[in-house]
Amino acid sequence: MKFKLPFNKKQTPIIVEESIVDGKMITPSKDGFIQQIKDATNNPFDLIIKSIPPNITIIYIDNLVKDQTLNEHIISNLQNKHNETPETIKGALSIPEVDIYGQLEKTIESIIHGSVLIHLDGYPQAVIANITTRESRSLAAPENESQVIGAQVGFNESLSTNISLIRRYIASSDLCNEKFTIGKRTNTSVALLYMNGIANDQMINSLRQRITSLELDALIDSAVLSEMIDDNSLSVFPQMLLTERPDRFCDGLLNGKIGLIVDGSSMAIICPQSFVEFFQSQEDQNLRWHIATFARLLRFTAILLSVFLTPIYVGALTFHYEVIPQAFLVPLSESRALVPFPPVFEALLLEFIIELLREAGARLPTKIGQTIGIVGGIVIGTAAVQAGITSNILLIFVALSALASFTTPSYMMGNVIRLIRFPIIILAGFWGFYGIMLAFCFILIHLLRQSSMGAPYLSPFYPPRLKDMRNSIIRMPIPFTAKRPALTRPTNEEKFDPKPIKPEKS
């Protein structure tokens, strides 16, 4: 983890005031216990305290527990019965997760997470029954990573739902699931998932260490976590994949990658991830290899176009007229005849408008968003050309590169593609093709310097791994990709025995 900014050096770790509950034990008396809980939880109005005669008190937080279970399995079991010790209560309850704690701290922690406290007057212990329920939306299709062929289900914000989705894809005892709590104030649950026997132990350890050494006040979304535990947080390129597709997540796990799911976030983190893999879609696995290869090549062309097309236009028009073929020079000069600005300003203006439309479309409600798209595309585009602010041809180029940038399956990477275009346009405006080449070399070196969980970012191209290249910007038929990528340094390399399953020709 390289998140060492100069101004971070003197920062002291976040100190949460030690609360009154530390190290205390539960008071045996009924009133004392109630007061203790009230003090520790700051007496919220949804704290429900209910006495069950003769000697039992039930305390829980409303909306966090399942009402039906509470009624049927706890209250009805305890009512009108003489319970002597906490152990007998534990035996009497017909729910699976029941514990007995004496420490106040643990008791408070569990009531916050949705347990019911059952206190027996005169005993310094409390029985804790976990019957948590959390509000969460129902499963829906993944909107940001939609596919034509493939599963139509995405993660939602509930950790337990997400894990059950994954367990449905991978019904194996090798699927390891470790729980961490991050955030001093939010106490967010984070699950670390990997396949035992496939994932590299060293990599798991280093990720585990990065998570535990993280000192955060609050963790609201997994995107924050992924930025904090990246190899190089200062780079514009993301080094971990955020996905909302369970099938993509599971495919990663099965290839020896490590996954992280944050409670309350619908995006799961997958690492290590190489640069090329950001431009792969899970759909590529579901399509025939010819079509998948075509789609991948198309995407790569799109990225190159998206990054370099406008800069080349700017560079060629500002400095290198000679490069433009004669037949093309005439329409180009005609369309630019009325434009009063230099090409670099013209291009920046138009790129700015396109970005503005994209941002407006993303922020507005869907219904209005569509209107904005039409208004922007047709009205502003046509009007700009007629007003003589931009040339027709540049309009095509800019629209093309914007379109191309949206083919990137990962939204995070798509943003990067759109962003790095701007400095290159400016460089091209000042120093022509030399400026473009400078930017190209800089990006190349920058990518070479990056790593994802210590694995080379440009793998499988550098270091060159011919076997992994079979599934990079092309996708060879499945029998040729029977090995797991070396990127993840898997413990077990073989996926399956690559023999054709076809019946033999007799």
What is the contact surface with another protein in residues (CB under 8 A)?
Answer: 319-320, 322-326, 328, 431-434, 436-438, 440-442, 444-446, 448-449, 458, 461-464
- Our CB check for another protein shows the closer of 294 and 461 to be 461
Query: Residue 314 Cβ, how far from another protein at the closest point, in Å?
Result: 14
Q: How far is the CB of 433 from another protein (least distance, A)?
A: 4
- Interaxial angle between packed helices 411-449 and 289-318, expressed in degrees from 0 to 180 and rounded to the nearest 10: 70
Whose Cβ is closer to another protein: residue 194's or residue 237's?
237
**What are the residues facing 129 on neighbouring strands?**
98, 116
Whichever of 2 and 288 has its CB closer to another protein, that residue is 2
Residue with tokens 């019957």: 131
Q: What are phi and psi of 194, to 5 degrees?
A: -160, 165
Q: Taking the complex as a whole, how short is the minimal distance between the CB of residue 218 and another protein, in angstroms?
A: 35
Say which residues have a Cβ less than 8 Å from residue 39's Cβ, sequence separation at least 6.
20
504 token code pair:
């033999």
Q: Shortest approach of another protein to residue 324 CB, angstroms?
A: 7
CB of 297 to another protein, least distance (A): 16
Residue 190 has phi, psi (to 5 degrees) of -130, 130
Q: Phi/psi of residue 372, each to 5°?
A: -60, -40
CA distances from 453 to 66, 282, 491 (A): 41, 22, 16
Q: How far is the CB of 432 from another protein (least distance, A)?
A: 7
- The burial class, CB within 10 Å (0-12 / 13-18 / 19+), for 201 is exposed
For residue 440, the minimal CB distance to another protein (Å) is: 7
**Nearest to another protein of 67, 201 (CB atom):** 201
The angle formed by the CA atoms of residues 362, 150 and 500, to the nearest 5 degrees, is 145
CA distance 361 to 371: 9
User: Which residue lies nearer to another protein by CB, 411 or 440?
Assistant: 440
- The CA distance from 83 to 53, in Å, is 10
Q: Using the minimum distance from each CB to another protein, give the nearer residue, 100 or 324.
A: 324
Nearer to another protein, 353 or 427 (CB): 427
